[in-house]
């Protein structure tokens, strides 16, 4: 088994600045008023896991995932999200106690993936995640509107 220890987002959608979401080992709930960014947090998770369809993350194209500055602030130059997965059980077949997956996208749409800060391909992220049966398009992630 694994679990998400932490998600860190910066320049992603409404998370303009470095924003950390620590998760406990128990059941976690994200609460907030309409428009406060709850679904954006799930979009951030899907982004890191390697979803290719920006529309499924509610953006016309990948660059639209970048913080747009709202009405009066400067847009971010890139969107970056890291998800820290617990690896105490060595489910990811690596020695590190935690696996950090990072994905970033720039204004020109170019992106990079990293596993524990080392550059890698999307396929390498997918292969690593599949060891824990995590699939970016899997049915274990139920997005708003998927079920009515």
- List residues near Mg ion by CB under 5 A: 38-39, 144
According to the binding rule CB under 6 A, does residue 130 interact with ligand ATP?
A: no
Q: What is the DSSP letter of 120?
A: E
Q: Which of 3, 4, 68, 94 binds ligand ATP (CB under 6 A)?
A: 68
- For residues 88 and 103, give the distance between their C-alpha atoms in angstroms, rounded to a whole number: 23
Beta bridge mates, 19:
9
Select the binding partner of residue 36 from Mg ion, ligand ATP, none (C-beta < 5 to 8 A, by kind). ligand ATP
Contact flag: residue 13 with ligand ATP (CB under 6 A): yes
Largest Cα–Cα distance of the chain, in whole Å? 47
**Which of 3, 4, 6, 14 is close enough to bind ligand ATP by CB under 6 A?**
14
DSSP conformational letter for 25:
S
Is 78 a residue that touches ligand ATP (CB under 6 A)? no
In terms of CB distance, is 42 or 132 closer to ligand ATP? Answer: 42
* H helix and E strand count, the chain: 2, 6
Please report how close the Cβ of residue 148 comes to Mg ion at its closest, in angstroms: 14
Instruction: Centre a 10 Å sphere on the Cβ of residue 10 and count the other Cβ atoms it contains.
Output: 18
Residue-wise burial string across 79-99, b where 16 or more C-beta atoms lie within 10 A, e elsewhere: bbbbbbbbbeeebbeeeeeeb
Q: Nearest approach, Cβ of 34 to ligand ATP (angstroms)?
A: 4
Positions 20 through 49 that interact with ligand ATP (CB under 6 A): 32, 34-40
Which residues bind to ligand ATP, rule: CB under 6 A?
A: 13-14, 32, 34-40, 64, 66-68, 70, 144
């Amino acid at each position: 088994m694994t679990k998400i220890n932490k998600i860190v987002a910066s320049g992603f959608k409404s998370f303009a600045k470095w924003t950390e979401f620590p998760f406990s080992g128990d059941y976690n709930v994200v609460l907030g008023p309409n428009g406060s960014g709850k679904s954006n947090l799930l979009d951030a998770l899907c982004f890191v896991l390697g979803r290719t369809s920006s529309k499924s993350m509610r953006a016309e194209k990948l660059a639209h995932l970048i913080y747009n500055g709202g009405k009066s602030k400067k847009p971010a130059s890139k969107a970056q999200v890291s998800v820290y997965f617990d690896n105490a059980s060595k489910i990811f077949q690596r020695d590190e106690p935690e696996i950090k997956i990072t994905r970033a996208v720039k204004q020109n749409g170019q992106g990079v993936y990293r596993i524990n800060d080392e550059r890698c391909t999307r396929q390498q992220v997918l292969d690593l995640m599949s060891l824990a049966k995590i699939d970016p398009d899997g049915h274990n992630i139920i997005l708003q509107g998927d079920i009515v």
